[in-house]
Structure 1
């Protein structure tokens, strides 16, 4: 009797934890504090904004070329400069991609260089007679 009650409690706890995990996502991905580290701006690939709600603080999460994450204060002057640099780089890349796609679609279809047969004129379709 005691073992079935313990098993029922364990199942309820596991179910509850699964629901919390499914609705809120893994808490380990949240920035819990801001870093004061300032890396070279050209090493930053992209960023995301972490809002308060599930996570305890609002932060800018920078993704580096090496795959590291750096959590910064969104009001920090360096963080604002870094976000601006990433936005400019992304905008430039999009412009290049659009130009490449546009130039590929601007190509006109190839025109055949073989001469077309002209329609036969009246009376020229017969073989000449020998005399």
Structure 2
């Protein structure tokens, strides 16, 4: 069987592109430094934790309503507040999905005491 130089070049190019994509692809979404940007907590909708390994620093990556990413120090007070806010909202949404909470109303019927109606009544 004859091996064509075109096939060899195509095979080399495909292998090279796979290696470049595998090594550079995940790095594109890494934080390389931590921002001191602080937006109002109402604008934060989600977060992910970035650990060292593929990425150069440890950070919390916040996602805003406008789709912006904020790389923050995971030990900062602001980051802690934002994480708690997002976690609380996720918990509320999960409870709403399960039917436990419907908006801000309650579907629990209040208990009424019957002690006054069960007492013997005197006739006048």
Instruction: State the TM-score, normalized to the length of structure 2.
Output: 0.66
1:76 is the counterpart of 2:76: yes
Q: By how many angstroms is 1:16 displaced?
A: 3.4
Tell me how many residue pairs correspond in the alignment. 97
* Partners of 1:45 and 1:86 within 8 A in 2: yes
- Cα-to-partner distance string for 1:92-115 (whole Å, 9 max, x where unaligned): 111111117xxxxxxxxxxxxxxx
The residue aligned with 1:21 is 21
The residue aligned with 2:35 is 35
Secondary structure of 1:49's counterpart equals strand
Q: Which residues of structure 2 form unaligned runs of 5+?
A: 1-7, 101-124
Q: Which residues of structure 1 form unaligned runs of 5+?
A: 1-7, 101-131
User: What is the Cα-based RMSD across aligned positions, in Å?
Assistant: 2.7
Secondary structure of 1:92's counterpart equals helix
* Partners of 2:44 and 2:86 within 8 A in 1: yes
Distance in 1 between the 2:23 and 2:99 partners? 42
The aligned runs of 1:41-120 (5 Å cut-off) are 41-99=41-99
Distance in 2 between the 1:14 and 1:71 partners? 34
Distance in 1 between the 2:74 and 2:13 partners? 37
Q: By how many angstroms is 1:12 displaced?
A: 4.6
